Structure 1
Amino acid sequence: MALAPLTGAQRLRDLLKDPNHLVVLPGVFDGITARLAVAAGFDAIYMTGAGTSLSRLGWADLGIASLPDMESNASMIASLHPSTPLIADADTGYGGPVMVSRTVAQYARAGVAALHIEDQVQEKRCGHLLGKIIVDRETYYSRLRAAVAVRDQLQSKMLIIARTDAKQANGFDEALKRLQDAVAIGVDAVFLEAVETKEEARQVCQIMKATNTPVLLNLVPGGATPTWTVDEARELGFRIMIFPGLCVAPIMRSVAAELDHLRNTGEVSPGSANAGVKEAFNLCGLQECLEIDQKAGGKAYRTVGE
């Protein structure tokens, strides 16, 4: 009997079975960055909410992106390589328990391997900006209960990650309490945003290790968290490590440079001229499309690869 293809969610669960393995995920925000990350050989990828807001809407990450914006982007990225786990930002869940249920259901049906729900107010902001406003515990817990309940009702393998931003305004102890309660509710992993010291990191990882709950580290260069290496994060006890902004700055710099070169010289740069459209097409599935067409007896694309 043929085995069913391995889903991203099941693959992520398998990766997390090894207590010594750290799953490293580069942040992606569109089809090209997702394809590049998979081609680079990463075990899993992360859809950044900030990158989604920047690329799809052209606006900063201030809670402007809606559920349709985020879910449609996550669905597209997850569909490109379904066996590669995609962890996706789900912000606050976009409303009360009913909206959180809709968010989780849509992400699960889209093939997302894991999502995280946070405890900021709806008018949220990037986790490494100042001035965050946090909801009370019960509001936060109701979001998590709704997320876990609908995931279980769907019999989905998708992981629910509880994120707290409470440390900035309410202190480390309050943030830790919220994560411990989240584990009791039934989440699969926890995410302490803006952890600032190795002592805090070790403490939360050690406490969560007792319940076999993976802890996620969010590494944003220039943010509140020190720029720890992958090896340092592993030594501290983290099991998941995301780099949300990894692709944003290089693309901004390189595209800005190309635009300046064209405006100032009237021609494309030598490097740009050598990187043809066919290279991009091959990255984004050209050969797979040709193979599908050929096997089906189609003739429309016979000369495309020549």
Structure 2
Amino acid sequence: MMASAKQLRALLADPSKIIVCPGVYDGLTARIALNAGFECLYMTGAGTTMSRLGMPDLGVATLNDMRENAGMIAGLNRKIPLIADADTGYGGALMVGRTTHQYIQAGVAAFHLEDQVVNKRCGHLRNKEIVDEEVYLSRIRAAVNARAEADADIVIIARTDALQSLGFDSAVSRLKAAIAIGADVAFLEGFTSKEEGRKVCQELAPTPVLLNMVAGGVTPAFTVQEAQDVGFRIIIFPGFALGPVFKSVVLAAKQLKETGSVEESDAKAEAESSPKALFMAVGLKEAMEFDVAAGGTMYANGV
């Protein structure tokens, strides 16, 4: 089996491809995306923070929170690369190095590091604080050096949030400097026009550029085809699962509170969300087959 980072590099090496990554944040949403046939997943930091801590994405998630979640998701299918948010690296150069080693050990194929202060905020909120360029580059350098020490691979994605405060040219200059010291992919967060999206891809070519497609965020909406036409090589959808889950559970909570029932109005929909259907979605069939193959009898007659 090809290592996940190697698999991701193979996808990036095909200039005719754009890698589409649905944003997942737990085992169930990851399984749903895997079952749909996506060839790469993205672990959203906001989703991880909300689901594990019940808090907003304001820099409160730790390395342990993120690595444990990433390792669980990556382990569901080692054939499918996982790109994971690594925020600021969770400290100075030593901590960024530790983060790199921990993500490699967790089976993560790629991660992105940003240039916000440690007490960061979601990239589509206002008034982000940015560290000096040398501090940012020390984070990228620490990740590059740690990867070399580990004698193992991980794709390093350099993200900058500097556009809002420093402007386009300075933000792109930071990305060019990060690429020069070993970053593999560039990520300009929060651009506000499609022309800026096209321009960053042109300025940084042939380095692959990632597009963060946040529904309702400051970046204009791109379809996958539009993103590919502009020149992006990776597109992530962090809200892929968060938005639908939020809407559906809010409605279910309202129904239960007002009617005392959470029954589906549609028989087909009810069957699709039955306990057995849910268990099948997260690997019930494979688990039973594994048990039987090992000589177990508990599931020999099904469930």
Q: What TM-score does the superposition give when structure 1 sets the normalisation length?
A: 0.95
Take 2:72 and 2:183, find their aligned partners in 1: how far apart are those partners?
Answer: 25
What is the match of residue 247 of structure 2?
253
What is the match of residue 89 of structure 1?
85
What is the match of residue 129 of structure 1?
125
Kindly state the Cα deviation for residue 260 of structure 1 after the two structures are TM-superposed: 1.8
What is the match of residue 233 of structure 2?
239
What is the match of residue 276 of structure 1?
274
Unpaired runs of at least 5, structure 1? none
Take 1:245 and 1:199, find their aligned partners in 2: how far apart are those partners?
Answer: 23
**AA in 2 matched with 1:40:** A
Q: What TM-score does the superposition give when structure 2 sets the normalisation length?
A: 0.96
What is the match of residue 181 of structure 2?
185
More displaced stretch, 263-272 vs 110-119? 263-272
Take 2:263 and 2:276, find their aligned partners in 1: how far apart are those partners?
Answer: 18
Take 1:15 and 1:149, find their aligned partners in 2: how far apart are those partners?
Answer: 24
Q: Is 1:162 matched up with 2:158? A: yes
Name the SS of the counterpart of 1:225 in structure 2: coil
Take 1:184 and 1:160, find their aligned partners in 2: how far apart are those partners?
Answer: 12
What is the match of residue 207 of structure 2?
213
What is the match of residue 296 of structure 2?
298
What is the match of residue 289 of structure 1?
287
What is the match of residue 222 of structure 2?
228
**AA in 2 matched with 1:50:** A
Listed one character per residue, the Cα deviations across residues 48-69 of structure 1 (whole Å, up to 9, x for unaligned) are 0000011110000000111110
**AA in 2 matched with 1:72:** E
More displaced stretch, 242-251 vs 90-99? 242-251
Q: 1:13 aligned to 9, 17, 23, which one? A: 9
Contact 1:218 1:241 in 2 (8 A): yes
**AA in 2 matched with 1:241:** I
Kindly state the Cα deviation for residue 207 of structure 1 after the two structures are TM-superposed: 2.2
Listed one character per residue, the Cα deviations across residues 10-65 of structure 1 (whole Å, up to 9, x for unaligned) are 11111111112110111000000000011111110100000001111000000011
Take 1:266 and 1:31, find their aligned partners in 2: how far apart are those partners?
Answer: 29
Take 1:11 and 1:85, find their aligned partners in 2: how far apart are those partners?
Answer: 7
Kindly state the Cα deviation for residue 273 of structure 1 after the two structures are TM-superposed: 4.2
Contact 1:8 1:113 in 2 (8 A): yes
> What percentage of aligned pairs have identical amino acids?
54
**AA in 2 matched with 1:242:** I
Contact 1:258 1:269 in 2 (8 A): no
Take 2:260 and 2:55, find their aligned partners in 1: how far apart are those partners?
Answer: 30
Name the SS of the counterpart of 1:15 in structure 2: helix
Q: 1:175 aligned to 171, 174, 183, which one? A: 171
Take 1:219 and 1:68, find their aligned partners in 2: how far apart are those partners?
Answer: 26
Take 2:158 and 2:15, find their aligned partners in 1: how far apart are those partners?
Answer: 19
Kindly state the Cα deviation for residue 277 of structure 1 after the two structures are TM-superposed: 0.9
Contact 1:261 1:269 in 2 (8 A): no
Contact 1:262 1:268 in 2 (8 A): yes
Kindly state the Cα deviation for residue 153 of structure 1 after the two structures are TM-superposed: 1.7
Contact 1:194 1:225 in 2 (8 A): yes
RMSD: 1.2
Listed one character per residue, the Cα deviations across residues 200-236 of structure 1 (whole Å, up to 9, x for unaligned) are 2222211222xx3100000112111001111111111
Unpaired runs of at least 5, structure 2? none
Q: Is 1:266 matched up with 2:260? A: yes
Kindly state the Cα deviation for residue 180 of structure 1 after the two structures are TM-superposed: 0.4
More displaced stretch, 258-267 vs 222-231? 258-267
Take 2:68 and 2:145, find their aligned partners in 1: how far apart are those partners?
Answer: 23
Name the SS of the counterpart of 1:80 in structure 2: coil
Take 1:253 and 1:117, find their aligned partners in 2: how far apart are those partners?
Answer: 30
